[in-house]
Amino acid sequence: MSSSRKIVCETPLLKQVYNELKTTGKAGLSICELMAQLGLQYYDARTVMRNICRKGLAVSTLHDQGKSEIRRFVFMH
């Protein structure tokens, strides 16, 4: 059984991403992880995360991972 969830049509997409973000806690969520969990395309996931940040529900932080930086989104209480 796969741990990834798929999009539910009855629930708004912003609400689904918000709930996923809330469950991650302080670790946050990257765009790639969000794509894997909800089965979104890259640009859709990026747009939803931008909207959530604009509403003040999340903050984006940069984390070093090897030679690259990963942007993670952390839920604000």
Tracing tokens 């709930």 back to the chain, one arrives at: 19
Domain 13-75 -> CATH class: mainly alpha
Model confidence pLDDT, tens digit, residues 7-30 = 677 888 889 899 999 999 888 999
Structure tokens that stand for 39 in this block: 């089965």
Order of strands across the sheet with 58-65?
Answer: 29-30, 68-75, 58-65
User: Hey, where are the domains in the chain?
Assistant: 13-75
pTM of the model: 0.79
Model confidence pLDDT, tens digit, residues 30-68 = 999 999 998 999 999 999 999 999 999 999 999 898 889
Q: Residue 3: pLDDT band by 50, 70, 90 thresholds?
A: low
